[in-house]
Structure formats: C-alpha cells, structure tokens
Amino acid sequence: EDKATQKLMMLPTDIAMKVDPVFNPIAREYADDQDVFFKDFAAAFSKLLHLGCASQPIAAPTLEAKERAGREFREYAMHGSTQRMQKPALIADVHEREADSGRTALHKAAFWGHNQTVTYLLDELKLDPNVTDFSGDTALHDASRFGHKLVIDKLLAGGADPNKKNKAGKSSADLAEEKRTDKIANTLSKTELSVTPHMDAIKSDIRTALVNQKAFACPMAMRVAWHASGTYDQQSKTGGSDGATMRFQPEFTDDANAGLTMMIDMLKSVKDKHPGVSVADIWTLAGAASIEFTGGPKIPFAFGRTDSDNKKPAACPAHEIPENGRLPDALQGAAHLRQVFGRMGFNDREIVALSGGHTLGRCHQVRSGFDGPWTEDPLTFNNSYFKNLMNNEWQERNWDGKKQFEDKATQK
C-alpha cells in the first residue's frame, strides 16, 4: 500500500496514554528518548513472554528516580552486559537482592545463559555459587531449568552443589526433568552434552518464514507472541505463553485473535525443522526476533515452555485454555488498561512501554474493525508511535467503523 495514502490513526487506548496524568509523562519521555524506550520495552516484553514460565517472575527494570540498590547491576547481569557491570559504583551493589524474590545478579545471568557474565561474577567478584533466593533456588537451578550447558559447567567448576534442594525439595536435576531437559542430569554428572536449542539457527529459520512470505509478517509475529502471552493471570497461574493454548477453542476464535491463523500456519515450517522445540517457544521467539529484525532492541529470551495437549484435567494451570476476554479492549481507557495489565503484574511504566509495540504494523477493518497504521513506517521498530501520539493533535474520525482518532492538522 502506498504510504502516502495511509491515514495515521490512534485507538482509544492509545489516547489514554496521552490524557492520563501518570501515563502522559512516561509517554513523553519515550517520545523524546528512543534509547530509554528501547530499554524499557525490551525488559517489559521479555517479562510478558516469560510470565508463568519460571519459578520466579522476571522483574522488569524501571527507570524510577529512586531505584533500589543493585537494580542496575542485576539488570546488566540479565542482559549479559559484563563490561557495564564493571563500574566501581555498581560493583558495590553486587550482593544486593531483589526485594520480592531474593534473586541476585548471579541468578539473573544464569537464568539467561550468559556464561561470560557468570564467569565474571564467580572469578572476579567471588560470588558464592550456592547463594539461594527466597524459594531456595541457586543459580544452578536456574541454568539447569533451561539447559544452559556452558553456564552449568562453569557453576559446577566454581563449586555449585548439584544436589542442593530448594524449598520445594527439588534439585537442579529435578527441575531439568520437569522442563523436559532431563538429559541435563548427565551434564550435572560431568557428562559432555548440549541440549540447549540453537537460538541463532531457529531465528534464521524464523526470518526465512517471516520475510519470504508476507510483507507485514514481522508485526503479525509480534502480535501472536503478545496475544499468546497476554492472557496470563498471576492469581490463578493460568494463561500466558506456556502451553501455546491459542491452538485450541475457545481461545482460537477469540475476536481479539482474528487474523492470526496465517502467522500460526507460517511458523509451522519452523516447528518442522526443529521438532524438539515447543510451539510455545517458537511463537514467543518469533515475536522477540521480529522486533530485532525490524530495528528494535534485542529481547532477552529463554527456552523451556511446553505445549498443552488440551486434555482434561490440564497437566498444569498454564496448560488450561483461558476464557476469552483477557486481552486489552482497544475501545477502553486507562482504568481498563490498568485492570488488564495489573492482572499480569505490570506497573504503569511497563503498560506504556508495551503500548509502544504499536509502532509496528497496522489495523485492518475486516479483522478488528479499526483501520490504518500508527506510524508512517509500520515496518520499522522505533519511537515514532510516541512521537506521533504526543506531538500531534488527535480528533475522532468521522467514519462508519469503530471509534478511532485521526491527526487534526492533516487528517491523515
């Protein structure tokens, strides 16, 4: 479609970002500083993709004026940014923990498989390899859960105890077996083995599936990952990306998921090439990769999701098919956003950051009842969504579709 003929639009939930007194300054900050937006979005989107997939939720870093001690150091550990961790002011906070989970920088680095960072923490900063979080998990528990062999080897060499049990009575090998990476038990016995899926190879096949078949495939891949993950309920532990339950009724026919069948079918070729990787992992990795492919930030990602078989009773709460209506309703306002995102455990800053995903893609009236892109280049991930939202004056569009807004000055 000719970009010159596209009318830019905003949805009622987008306008909420501009008019709400708490959302507004955050949206303005993102409009003025793309780096800040990228940093916050990467953390919040990663948290979304992993809700319900680990023993402890992944805390998304924020940029509040009064950050808790050690937050920045742990954030760099999560991203594997070893060089940035070496500032003296940050090193002073190396032993600080997350207040809600007790997780340390070593837990973060091990969870994401950052071997260089784990090596730095053990060899240079002399962290205790057997330090536990509030659930009794060590860094070895985290690394074993997702099959990070190099990290496991380093932790074992550094004195990590493979027999140490958490408060649930689980050892590292127990957790590996529960996540269907049971062969890691051999690694814990010093047997040479690598069971971690090769992320680069899978991402290459995802790129082929997305780029070679349809121009707007990257935005659609992000939407599949978002919708698969955005049903999570932190109280019931149901919904979320684990299980890939969007394959089944009634979630499959939820109005909010209209048009996603095409992307689900496109990603089947990736599953065919990597039968040992779950559909849930492929969907979420495709969403993370699509952001990177279109110029956005790299999204921290860990494997380990499993696929629901839609049997009754479900193998675990995450494999239950969630009821329809959990995803955001674009016709609503700020209170609705806080209710939907709050159910998943997101704060106001994370809500605004995730809304920035609208910088990719467009709406189609035949699918959603809305029409048009949010930005002039809907195939590039940047902060244009926030620039347009905050710098333009928006008025309700006079047309026969659902309520949406157009730029008052240009009516485009």
Annotated catalytic sites, by residue? Answer: 227, 374
SS3 110: helix
Distance separating alpha carbons of residues 45 and 161, to the nearest angstrom: 33
* 331 burial level (CB within 10 Å; 0-12, 13-18, 19+): middle
Find, among 26, 15, 44, 48, the residue nearest to 227 by Cα.
Answer: 48
Sequence-distant (≥ 6) Cβ neighbours of residue 231 within 8 angstroms: 238, 239, 240, 245, 251, 322, 326, 327
Place of tokens 């680095």: 109
Distance separating alpha carbons of residues 188 and 173, to the nearest angstrom: 7
Distance separating alpha carbons of residues 291 and 297, to the nearest angstrom: 7
The CA–CA distances, whole Å, from 405 to 12, 216, 285, 352 equal 8, 23, 32, 18
The CA–CA distances, whole Å, from 368 to 112, 258, 326, 371 equal 36, 7, 16, 8
Q: Return the number of other C-beta atoms located less than 10 Å from residue 268's C-beta.
A: 12
The interaxial angle of helices 23-32 and 384-391, nearest 10 deg, is: 120
Structure tokens at 329: 């309703």
Sequence-distant (≥ 6) Cβ neighbours of residue 18 within 8 angstroms: 24, 27, 389, 390, 394
SS3 171: coil
Q: Return the number of other C-beta atoms located less than 10 Å from residue 390's C-beta.
A: 17
